[in-house]
Chain A
Amino acid sequence: MKAAAIVHSDLAGACLTVHGARLVPDPSGGLYWPEQDTLVVADLHFEKGSGFATRGRGVLPPYDTRATLGALAGLCRRFRPRRVVCLGDSFHDRKAEARLGPDEREMLHALVGRHDWIWICGNHDPAPDFAGRIEGTISLGPLIFRHAPSPGPMPGEVAGHLHPSAAISVRGHSMRRRCFAADGARLVLPAFGAYAGGLDVRDPAFATLFDGPFHAWMLGRRAVHPVRFAQPSRPRPGNASSSR
């Protein structure tokens, strides 16, 4: 099998279906679910920059929270969702909330106040301390939302944590973009935070999530482009076949 990265261009901008739910991936990295009027974002990593400074790892430009919030506010204006779900690691560390600048804090309060806001706990922020609801996981319709994807098949799971990114090469141009990783049964969202890095979807971490080929919905400027990856499957005990 030649495991080539394949794009179905006719799908560009189209819906992404996960366990029967029709979702709209946005080029910003957010996800809108029209049926539930819900906006989902993952891995905001507020105050990652100042977190680095705190640990003596340099003085990154202190504008990442502002940039992330600006993008999030833009999404909220566009989709006007009833509910917003942040899939964990919203704050880069346990003290990140305390480091928010006054402007950023006010902006975030205003955003949270306008929606039914749900913070899912992540490994960076096991107990976020901010207005809004705090949850470990939540279920909505056929979907279950949590921070870290569970190993093995988990139909209907929508998660973050891995920061998926994909690279392709077109006519000599090499492009690496954040992406949604989805195979129809489950979905991993890209990180939304301005300083959040990415993990290549060819990394073995993804192999345990998808049984067969999956799409990396790569973030373009104006559209999201589903590029197909034929992830090599790992033979499992009692299930040597890699067929879906």
Chain B
Amino acid sequence: MARPATEAADPGAPEPGTPALPPRFATWFAGRGWTPRRHQLALVEVAKAGQSVLLIAPTGGGKTLAGFLPSLIALENRPPRRQRAKLHTHYISPLKALAADIARNLEAPVAEMGLSVKVELRTGDTSQSKRDRQRRTPPDILLTTPEQLALMLAHPSAAALFADLEAIILDELHAITESKRGDLLALDLARLGKLAPAARRVGLSATVAEPDLLRRYLVPQQAGQDRRARLVVGEAGAPAEVEVLAAAAPLPWSGHSARHALPEIYDAIRTARTALVFVNTRSQAEYLFRELWRINDDGLAIALHHGSLAAEQRRRVEAAMAAGTLRAVVCTATLDLGIDWGAVDLVLQIGAPKGSSRLLQRIGRANHRLDTPSRALLVPANRFEVLECAAARQAVHEGALDAPPKRSGALDVLAQHVLGMACSGPIDPDALYVEVISAAPYAGLDRDTFRRVVEFVEHGGYALRKYERHHRLKQDSAGLLRVANAMVARQYRLNAGTIVEAPMLKVRLVRGPISRNRTAHPAGGGLPLRGGRMLGEVEEMFIDQLVPGDTFQFAGETLRFEALREMEVLVSRSADPEPKVPSYDGGKFPLTTFLADRVRHLLADPGGWSALLAPVEEWLRIQRIRSVVPDPDSLLVETFPRGRKHYLVCYPFEGRLAHQTLGMLLTRRMERAGLHPLGFVASEYALAVWALGDLRAAHMDALFDQDMLGDDLEAWMAESSLLKRTFRTCAIIAGLIERRHPGLEKSGRQVTVSSDLVYDVLRRYEPDHILLQATWADAASGLLDVARLGAALRRVAGHIVHKPLDRISPLAVPSILEIGRESVHGAAEDALLREAADALIAEAMTLDDP
């Protein structure tokens, strides 16, 4: 919602000829010293015509008010007495906090104009009784999240509730559409299109690379027609000022900590009013937070915010931020979106930004005035990141954005939706199909695939029809499908939504070990294992690495792992100066294709090197002498001996995920060629493989041939733990296995069914099952990034530059440094298990055994 200061400073005036607002509104604007913006008036016009519209405007442009203005005007003019309350406008925000903020900010205009308009919020926190009341007596304007909309549509009251709906406002649309959440929302829009065909849609979005994708998303699609919502573009704000930080300490060759730049980061925080310090992973957030407090001589109020922290702790930080009592928050993507904090005047991005759209979004969090530029400082943590930061800075200056990767609607999401629709009332599959393909992400869905999804919802869709008596849907005499019983509807409500976290364990603080003498009373013995504060959740995978007594950094504190009890990790406070930092899996974004391409061009242009930091320029200059600098259209492959091994380093710049997949496939092929690969390490920029065989004579064109994406890929993917993780997400969204629900976890792991086990069984007995198809589609674009790897291999086919060297090149150093630090692949499970033995034997010898 607009801030008065912002609006007053805006020079934008309505163009001559644009119709004025109704008197009450015009007076209100004038009373505040504001002039309605052009795009605000444009939205009023579009609404009068009953059309749907996408508004693209920067933060601080009065975008949200523009979205609500037509509804407020319509509600002012409605007949005073009505038979019953009707829901007029439904607003959907990706964030609960944002919806709550909007609710507060709507109060002012409604009250000041004396409008009789009822605005209410419905989120996961809203009580059941209030939800029931909202169904019976809806407010004029209801503010919710996509998940709540899905739940409302799955209720038998949906048709009545939404019948009179006139407007649907979708806020921060750009942040939702390119995900499974966006798929679900699209399906829900399609349903609303059926329940309230006349309701106009209003999409509010930041600047995006391809507005047409959002314009299609907003309106019902029909085969053979190109339907798009109208487009209104607000005036752009002042261009952002982005600098790349040059630290005094030597620039690291590898790593992501940015430790070398700590003094400068601290200085930047000190000189700003309030700074948002973005990092890419939660572990980086914990690390940076701890290091900043170590040097925080001024006692600046620096807070920590990431997705694993307990919700209450996050809310406290957000409240302190809103109250203006914090100087900085170290945060992850959890604060990419959110309510406006007027005090933020600097955004720091620690580590490379990975994509220009994400960077712009983050920069937009600083300074919500259109007439002054946002300020951002990029802090590269290593040499390659300097290139990436420079490329991102260029892109921001040009206003160039990442184009989203192509995707089509996910089938697991569709399965959830089909069940939800059956919960709201009997479904006719033919009619539902027509409805579903009117949603842009599902426009290309064929009838047969849809049938298989419905069959999955009905009875699992297995060739072995064993569950005849346990169908979730039953056909009635009219051929309509109904939910079989109330239990099915209950399961749907518990599992609804598309956000699936990695398996997490709660972290609970208990009082410290009773005895300091750990030898006499080892951890666990007689601990008070109950009570204590919940600090948040941590990945199960991380806890797997710990044994009682280990210390780690979490929630800004150093903690000692005491015991694992079913779904809880019990910890106590520790004074250990060298705790482990959780190496979470989540929170890493791959380098976007768009930015990667810019990095390749930057690298290939020696004329532009002088604009980079001096050590980077020198690094590239020596690379050019010792080897070559790859040009943008070819793939450089360097081979050299080192120690008693041979190394191959290539530089596709396609992101870690694609490189990891390439590494798996390449080593399989090298093994067959008798080159005896031993392992590989993938980074965002490069892939390094080491082997016993001499690689300098290897035939690179054959090694990198795209046919590796055939059988090798199939064989490897089937076994890959990444695919199992993808399957887990699909299985939960589709409702095949249940979510873990905190509070409902009485019985623990033995009685739940692990998705890994289901995956193994399903793959063996029904490899063509619809959920495996959904998993494969996800993996191809997600964790394995096969699609991107395929495009890269096609691009460089015939352009592979092999440079046999007698020793390591400068460009290869960062990759080789990563070896031993990162995980190593290529070894069979048993070898790793055996190695656990060998590697840990030394430690075993130091044990003082009881």
A interface, CB within 8 angstroms of B: 1-9, 12, 48-50, 52-54, 56-64, 66-67, 101, 162-163, 167-177, 191, 194-200, 202-204, 207, 212-213, 218, 220-223, 225, 227-230, 232-235, 242-244
Q: How far is the CA of A193 from the CA of B563 in the complex (A)?
A: 28
User: Does B541 have its Cβ within 8 Å of any Cβ on chain A?
Assistant: yes
B interface, CB within 8 angstroms of A: 459-460, 462, 464, 466-467, 470, 472, 485, 487-488, 491, 518-519, 521-526, 529, 541, 544-545, 547-549, 563-566, 583, 735-738, 748-754, 757-758, 760-762, 764-766, 769, 822-824, 828-830, 832-841, 843-844, 846-850
Q: How far is the CA of A14 from the CA of B838 in the complex (A)?
A: 16
Q: A67-B765, A163-B750, A220-B833 are in contact. Are A58 and B524 (CB under 8 A)?
A: no
CB nearest neighbor in B for A168: B836
Q: Which of A59, A175, A207 has the most chain B CB within a 10 Å cutoff?
A: A59
Q: Which of B460, B828, B843 is within 8 Å of A2, CB to CB?
A: B843
Q: Which of B488, B544, B752 is within 8 Å of A168, CB to CB?
A: B544
Q: How far is the CA of A87 from the CA of B467 in the complex (A)?
A: 28
Inter-chain contacts of B518 with A (CB < 8 A): 1
Q: How far is the CA of A202 from the CA of B375 in the complex (A)?
A: 49
Q: How far is the CA of A12 from the CA of B833 in the complex (A)?
A: 10
CB nearest neighbor in A for B543: A167
Inter-chain contacts of B749 with A (CB < 8 A): 197-200
Q: Which of A64, A202, A228 has the most chain B CB within a 10 Å cutoff?
A: A202
Q: Which 8 A-B pairs have the closest CB atoms?
A: A172-B823, A7-B837, A9-B837, A59-B460, A167-B544, A56-B487, A169-B545, A232-B522
Q: A62-B464, A200-B564, A202-B564 are in contact. Are A57 and B836 (CB under 8 A)?
A: no
Q: How far is the CA of A58 from the CA of B467 in the complex (A)?
A: 10
Inter-chain contacts of B757 with A (CB < 8 A): 194-197
Q: A53-B470, A174-B544, A233-B525 are in contact. Are A218 and B833 (CB under 8 A)?
A: yes
Q: How far is the CA of A101 from the CA of B564 in the complex (A)?
A: 39
Inter-chain contacts of A58 with B (CB < 8 A): 491, 735-738
Inter-chain contacts of B737 with A (CB < 8 A): 58, 60
Q: How far is the CA of A195 from the CA of B750 in the complex (A)?
A: 9
- Interchain residue pairs with CB less than 8 A apart (17): A7-B838, A8-B837, A9-B834, A9-B837, A50-B470, A54-B470, A59-B472, A60-B737, A63-B765, A172-B583, A175-B544, A195-B757, A204-B529, A221-B830, A225-B837, A233-B850, A235-B526
Q: Which of A170, A197, A230 is within 8 Å of B839, CB to CB?
A: A170
Q: Which of A2, A59, A101, A225 is within 8 Å of B549, CB to CB?
A: A2
- Expressed in whole angstroms, the minimum distance between the Cβ of A65 and any Cβ of chain B is 10
Q: Which of B735, B738, B760, B849 has the most chain A CB within a 10 Å cutoff?
A: B849
Q: How far is the CA of A98 from the CA of B541 in the complex (A)?
A: 39
B847 to A4, Cβ gap below 8 A?
Answer: yes
Q: A3-B522, A58-B737, A227-B836 are in contact. Are A221 and B764 (CB under 8 A)?
A: no
Inter-chain contacts of B833 with A (CB < 8 A): 7, 168, 170, 175, 177, 218, 220, 223, 225, 227
Inter-chain contacts of B761 with A (CB < 8 A): 61, 63-64, 67, 194-195
Q: How far is the CA of A9 from the CA of B842 in the complex (A)?
A: 12
A232 to B837, Cβ gap below 8 A?
Answer: no
Q: How far is the CA of A223 from the CA of B766 in the complex (A)?
A: 28
Interface residue SS majority, chain A: loop
Q: How far is the CA of A225 from the CA of B833 in the complex (A)?
A: 7
Q: How far is the CA of A148 from the CA of B762 in the complex (A)?
A: 30
Q: Which of A63, A171, A220 is within 8 Å of B764, CB to CB?
A: A63
- Expressed in whole angstroms, the minimum distance between the Cβ of B422 and any Cβ of chain A is 14
Q: Which of B751, B754, B840 is within 8 Å of A5, CB to CB?
A: B840
A63 to B522, Cβ gap below 8 A?
Answer: no
Q: Which of A63, A203, A223, A232 is within 8 Å of B565, CB to CB?
A: A203
Inter-chain contacts of B750 with A (CB < 8 A): 162-163, 191, 196-199
Q: Which of A1, A49, A50, A218 is within 8 Å of B850, CB to CB?
A: A1
Inter-chain contacts of A66 with B (CB < 8 A): 765
Q: Which of B467, B563, B836, B838 is within 8 Å of A53, CB to CB?
A: B467
Q: How far is the CA of A96 from the CA of B549 in the complex (A)?
A: 43
Q: How far is the CA of A168 from the CA of B526 in the complex (A)?
A: 25
B547 to A60, Cβ gap below 8 A?
Answer: no
Q: How far is the CA of A163 from the CA of B751 in the complex (A)?
A: 10
Inter-chain contacts of A5 with B (CB < 8 A): 547, 836, 840
Q: A59-B470, A194-B761 are in contact. Are A204 and B836 (CB under 8 A)?
A: no
Inter-chain contacts of B544 with A (CB < 8 A): 167-169, 174-176
Q: How far is the CA of A167 from the CA of B750 in the complex (A)?
A: 15
Inter-chain contacts of B753 with A (CB < 8 A): 48-49, 52, 60, 195, 197
- Expressed in whole angstroms, the minimum distance between the Cβ of B580 and any Cβ of chain A is 11
Q: A6-B843, A61-B765, A195-B753 are in contact. Are A232 and B832 (CB under 8 A)?
A: no
- Expressed in whole angstroms, the minimum distance between the Cβ of A32 and any Cβ of chain B is 20
Inter-chain contacts of B844 with A (CB < 8 A): 4, 6, 8, 228
CB nearest neighbor in B for A62: B466
Q: How far is the CA of A61 from the CA of B753 in the complex (A)?
A: 11
B832 to A175, Cβ gap below 8 A?
Answer: yes
B850 to A59, Cβ gap below 8 A?
Answer: no
Inter-chain contacts of A163 with B (CB < 8 A): 750
Inter-chain contacts of A171 with B (CB < 8 A): 823-824, 832, 835, 839
A7 to B830, Cβ gap below 8 A?
Answer: no
B834 to A7, Cβ gap below 8 A?
Answer: yes
Inter-chain contacts of B485 with A (CB < 8 A): 56
CB nearest neighbor in A for B542: A174
CB nearest neighbor in B for A166: B544
Inter-chain contacts of B758 with A (CB < 8 A): 60-61, 195
Q: How far is the CA of A177 from the CA of B836 in the complex (A)?
A: 13
